[in-house]
A and B are shown apart, each in its own frame.
Chain A
Amino acid sequence: MSDAPVAGRIEQLLRDLAPQVLGAVARRHRDFAASEDAVQEALIAAADQWPRDGVPDNPRGWLLQVALRRMTDHIRSEIARRDREKVVADDTPIVVAPALYSEPQMDPHDTLVLLFMCCHPALSPASAIALTLRAVGGLTTGEIANAFLVPEPTMAQRISRAKQSVKASDVAFEMPEAEERAPRVASVLHVLYLVFNEGYTTSSGPSLHRTDLSNEAIRLTRLVHQLLPDDTEVAGLLALMLLTDARRAARTGVSGEIIPLDEQDRSLWDRDAIAEGVALVTGALPRGPVGEYQLQAAIAAVHDEAASADATDWPQILALYDVLKRMTDNPMIALNHAVATAMVSGPRAGLELLAPLDADERVRNHHRLYAVRAHLLERAGQPDAAIALYNAAADKTSSIPERNYLLLRAARLRDQYHSGTSISSGTAWRE
């Protein structure tokens, strides 16, 4: 008798409440790892009971009470264990106060503090991502494991190691000092951006779960935007995600093959998401300071607002990449800048800008550099060189849809010009 809409609403509610409840418990108890376990248990209990018995009047209070009770149990068993082991001096006070049963105050900043902690620069990106999805996103270990296509015990280990790192790094559960805020917000945004990309760039494997990951990144970024409405880079990242995700339905074909931007059916683009993204970025840009996410969002907006690929305002995109390129030494930006230049001034101009990237260790051997150069050579009327580079790019990418796309791109040229030979391995293996 599972009622899908009700179950969906409950799941949404639980995930909205998860960081608030965890924030309150962690702020009181200081032991983040144990608090996180307690809240997970409360969430699982709720997911089990609420669909059957109905949602309680005060769902947050319910979760909090259950989580606090779990914490008490945990502390009691810790005391019992210590008593048994007799390793703790008798005068070490461990307080299991009756106050535990009173409801701690909810602080709207708790969720933000939680995010700062989970995305702390002391954690590796993989740890930060896993911890953020579980502690702030309210996802179960199984769901996160699914999303990253790893076995559940592997993800459980990763989360547990992440919690140990939090403990070891002595990250306090408190709001960072004012001067520390900007870099800490940047870490949070970086983690959310990685989550989004993880979901967006992979269309192989069980793609449904991957889509969920993009949705989750958007949901969490929206939450950060609500908590920090004046931060223009937060608005920029949310806009970038919405404007990129708006093209989701058009960017893959029936068999999961990649459809490049200039060949996409633009009637499939999500107009509401585009409108929201455009409004966010146009609202943020004049307020400043201008940052990388806002500029990338502005570029995505120019693409999304073009009625057709031919109608794209490439001079405008190039101008935005000019600014972006001055702000960062990210070689991927340099690569996109070269593409924009080619669209404005022809493929030769683009190819010239690629030359210095051959000396950059970060992209020298990257499939994107090969693919972009192949594309520009194709446009410059050098099919043989383009075919060889498309095939080399196909050998280097680790994404199967991308490899298929590059192989077909080479084959299309070969069919036209009859040339080129080399060897590649397997193609589409997973759906």
Chain B
Amino acid sequence: MKYMLMMNTPRGGDYGINTWPKKDIEAHIGFMISFAKKLGAAGELVGAEGLASPAEAKVVRAGANGKPITDGVFAESKEFLAGFWIVEVPNAQRAYEIAAEASAAPGIGGKPLNLGIEVREVPSGPPR
């Protein structure tokens, strides 16, 4: 079964990595890299992406003529999606375990961030 694990990051404060000491950023990067390596080696990682800063994010709708109408930037939103993993695991329980591990990524002073990770199943379609 496939699950998407979405890491939502509160804006600013202790979560703004741009304000952390160098060694804490290094520890955080090190954690993310070895986490992805471990999932990859276990054959559980389908894909993962970190997203660019929400500073440039836009919301797009089609206008009456089908042309894009863009809205944003959304500097005021409290949380933003920082990135996601897609994992292939035998059951939801295992996806939750992986999400908990990601949630405990180290922040300032190596303290776990305990970020909220939204876990959603990715239903499988017919074979292509």
Contact = CB atoms under 8 A, between A and B. Distances in A.
Q: Do A and B come from one complex?
A: yes
Interface of A: 153, 255-257, 391, 394-396, 398, 400, 404, 407-408, 410-412, 414-415, 420-431
Interface of B: 7, 9, 11-12, 16-22, 25-26, 28-30, 32-34, 36-37, 40, 48-56, 80, 82-83, 85, 128
8 contacts: A391-B18, A396-B53, A408-B29, A411-B22, A420-B18, A425-B54, A427-B28, A430-B48
B51 A422 contact: no
Contacts of A423: 11-12, 16, 18, 53, 55
Contacts of B52: 395-396, 398, 425
Contact of B36 (A257, A408, A415, A431): A431
Contacts of A257: 29
Contacts of B40: 431
A414 B28 CA distance: 17
A426 B51 contact: yes
A420 B48 contact: no
Contacts of B34: 255
A400 B82 CA distance: 13
A429 B48 contact: yes
Contacts of A398: 52
Nearest to A421: B19
Given A153-B128, A395-B52, A431 B37 contact: yes
Given A255-B29, A423-B12, A428 B19 contact: no
A256 B33 contact: yes
A404 B18 CA distance: 10
A257 to B, nearest CB: 7
B37 A411 contact: no
Contacts of A420: 18-19
Given A257-B29, A420-B18, 17 more contacts: A394-B18, A395-B55, A396-B52, A398-B52, A408-B22, A410-B18, A411-B21, A411-B22, A414-B19, A421-B18, A423-B55, A424-B17, A425-B51, A425-B82, A427-B25, A427-B50, A431-B36
A407 B17 contact: yes
A428 B18 contact: no
Given A395-B52, A398-B52, A415-B21, A426 B83 contact: yes
B102 to A, nearest CB: 10
B18 A422 contact: yes
A410 B26 CA distance: 12
Q: Which 9 A-B pairs have the closest CB atoms?
A: A429-B50, A426-B82, A426-B50, A411-B22, A395-B53, A426-B83, A428-B32, A423-B16, A428-B29
A371 to B, nearest CB: 15
B18 A407 contact: yes
Contacts of A391: 18
Nearest to A404: B29
Contacts of A415: 21-22
Nearest to B17: A424
A207 B7 CA distance: 24
A400 B52 CA distance: 9
Contacts of A427: 17, 25, 28-29, 32, 50
Contacts of B32: 426-429
Contacts of A429: 32, 36, 48-50, 83, 85
A396 B40 CA distance: 28
B99 to A, nearest CB: 15
A424 B21 CA distance: 14
Contacts of A395: 52-53, 55-56
A430 B12 CA distance: 24
A257 B25 CA distance: 12
A426 B20 CA distance: 13
Nearest to B53: A395
A430 B40 CA distance: 9
